């Protein structure tokens, strides 16, 4: 089965059993990823406590109403807090085993226009999560990152690169037996808030006569929420600290995506927006030196002197010199039918 076949439900559920009896906290738990991850966790495991950490009470209230019927054991906790608030994080991390850090400001134009806000949430927030984890019983922290963090050209990507560096270096502070930190990096999530797919769908529903296309050559990596959640769960089970885990996922041209959503509808060229790339890169040539490949994912290994490859990576092979994993040189491509099936 390749990654396009298994985009709806990538795992057998085994990875989820590691959460049985554990206390798990998801920052940004009311976001697209967080909601899906928590729903999946409630269905597939029996955690001791499941804490949703975010700022907006309304999103938490709505999520609580939605998920209470699934919460058979009464494990859900809704914690209002800001990742910019270190003491609040320390309070929230008490008796937590695993942290999934999904809170972020993630819109490229928002970050360009509000750089201080982006840095406070994405960079200082990462630092405070590390501090809080080091002062508590947390054993594993996995932070969500993006392809935009590899060779970044916009502040969102640069702030996520800084965040990645903070999490990877945190392993140097925790000492042996202390908390472990790793990163998962992937591309555009279909149907997540702010994604081009719901944007195109809305335009079509509103009777648009054409769809705006930035550049007909543009390509992007695509992943579904179920696949992202499964990959994050699996990576938490695999991590020994300091890795960047990257799933093998398909690419699609922006024009094919528009054709899949509105077959036959004309395209209107609007030009690349500030801070946008023509193609996204997940692994650069420089990262390739430390990258190893498994059947369905890559791992960028840390360059710590003390790091030794865990047993599960024994079968992994180093990638070729000058390897580059980008959305334009991908070997897997999404076709219109598969995309339509995936987004319903």
Ligand X SMILES: NC(=O)c1ccc[n+]([C@@H]2O[C@H](COP(=O)([O-])OP(=O)(O)OC[C@H]3O[C@@H](n4cnc5c(N)ncnc54)[C@H](OP(=O)(O)O)[C@@H]3O)[C@@H](O)[C@H]2O)c1
Contact stretch for ligand X (CB under 6 A) within 11-19, 24-32, 255-263, 315-323: 24-32
| Nearest distance from C-beta of residue 268 to ligand X, angstroms | 23
Question: Interface with ligand X includes 301 (CB under 6 A)?
Answer: no
Question: 66 or 268: whose CB is closer to ligand X?
Answer: 66
Instruction: Give me the 116-135 binding string for ligand X, x by CB under 6 A, dash otherwise.
Output: -----x---x----------
Q: Which of residues 37-56 bind ligand X (CB under 6 A)?
A: 54-56
Q: Count CB-CB contacts under 10 A for residue 20.
A: 11
Pick between residue 19 and residue 221 the one whose CB is nearest to ligand X. 221
Annotated active-site residue in 106, 148, 248, 253: 148
**How far is 240 from 242, CA to CA, in rounded Å?**
7
Binding segment toward ligand X, per CB under 6 A, in 78-86, 242-250, 255-263, 279-287: 78-86
CB of 107 to ligand X, least distance (A): 8
Contacting range for ligand X; rule: CB under 6 A; set: 2-10, 191-199, 290-298, 311-319: 191-199
Nearer to ligand X, 57 or 311 (CB): 57
Which residues in 227-286 contact ligand X (CB under 6 A)?
none
Q: DSSP readout, 197-259?
A: HHHHHHHHHTT-SSEEES-TT-EEEEE-HHHHHHHHHHHHHH--SS-EEEE---EEEHHHHHH
Q: Is 148 a catalytic site residue?
A: yes
For residue 94, how many other CB atoms are within 10 A of its CB? Answer: 13
| 92: helix, strand or coil | helix
- Identity of the residue, 77 or 289, whose beta carbon is nearer to ligand X in the bound complex: 77
Task: Pick from 45, 83, 150, 339 the residue near ligand X by CB under 6 A.
Answer: 83
Q: Which is nearer to ligand X, 134 or 144 (CB)?
A: 144
Q: Give the one residue of 16, 19, 28, 89 binding ligand X; rule: CB under 6 A.
A: 28
Kindly tell me which of 83 and 166 has the beta carbon lying closer to ligand X: 83
The Cα 181–Cα 225 span in angstroms is: 22
Q: Which residues contact 305 (CB under 8 A, 6 or more apart)?
A: none
134-163: contacts with ligand X (CB under 6 A): 144, 146, 160
Check residue 103 for interaction with ligand X (CB under 6 A). yes
150 phi and psi angles, rounded to 5 deg: -90, 120
Distance CA 197, CA 27 (A): 25
Half-sphere exposure of 71 (CA within 13 A, CB side): 16
Q: Render 102-151 in DSSP notation, one character per residue.
A: ------HHHHHH-HHHHHIIIIIHHHHHHHHHHTSS--EEEEEEEGGGSS
User: 119: which residues sit within 8 A by CB, 6+ positions away?
Assistant: 155, 159
Residues that bind ligand X (CB under 6 A): 27-28, 30-34, 54-56, 59, 82-84, 102-106, 121, 125, 144, 146, 160, 186, 188-189, 192-193, 195
Catalytic residue annotation? 148
């Amino acid at each position: 089965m390749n990654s396009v076949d298994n985009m709806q439900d990538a795992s057998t559920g085994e990875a989820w059993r590691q959460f049985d009896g554990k206390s798990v906290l998801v920052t940004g738990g009311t976001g697209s990823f967080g909601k899906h991850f928590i729903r999946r966790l409630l269905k597939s495991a029996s955690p001791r406590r499941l804490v949703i950490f975010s700022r907006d009470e309304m999103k938490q209230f709505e999520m609580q109403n939605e998920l209470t019927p699934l919460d058979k054991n009464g494990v859900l906790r809704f914690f209002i807090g800001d990742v910019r608030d270190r003491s609040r994080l320390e309070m929230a991390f008490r008796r937590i085993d695993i942290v999934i850090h999904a809170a972020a400001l993630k819109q490229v134009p928002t970050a360009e226009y509000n750089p201080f806000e982006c840095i406070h949430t994405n960079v200082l927030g990462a630092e405070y999560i590390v501090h809080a984890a080091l002062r508590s019983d947390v054993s594993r922290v996995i932070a969500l990152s993006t392809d935009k963090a590899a060779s970044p050209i916009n502040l969102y990507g640069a702030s996520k690169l800084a965040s990645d560096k903070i999490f990877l270096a945190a392993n140097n502070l925790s000492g042996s037996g202390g908390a472990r930190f790793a990163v998962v990096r992937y591309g555009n999530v279909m149907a997540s808030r702010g994604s081009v797919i719901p944007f195109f769908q809305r335009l079509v529903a509103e009777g648009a006569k054409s769809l705006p296309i930035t550049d007909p050559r543009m390509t992007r990596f695509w992943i579904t929420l179920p696949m992202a959640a499964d990959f994050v769960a699996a990576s938490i089970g695999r991590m020994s600290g300091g890795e960047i885990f990257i799933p093998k996922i398909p690419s699609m041209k922006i024009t094919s995506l528009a054709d899949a959503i509105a077959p036959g509808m004309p395209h209107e060229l609007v030009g690349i927006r500030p801070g946008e790339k023509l193609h996204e890169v997940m692994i650069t040539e420089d990262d390739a030196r430390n990258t190893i490949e498994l059947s369905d994912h890559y791992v960028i290994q840390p360059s710590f002197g003390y790091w030794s490859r865990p047993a599960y990576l024994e079968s992994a092979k180093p990638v070729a010199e000058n390897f580059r994993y980008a959305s334009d040189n991908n070997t897997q491509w999404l076709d219109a039918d598969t995309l339509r099936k995936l987004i319903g």
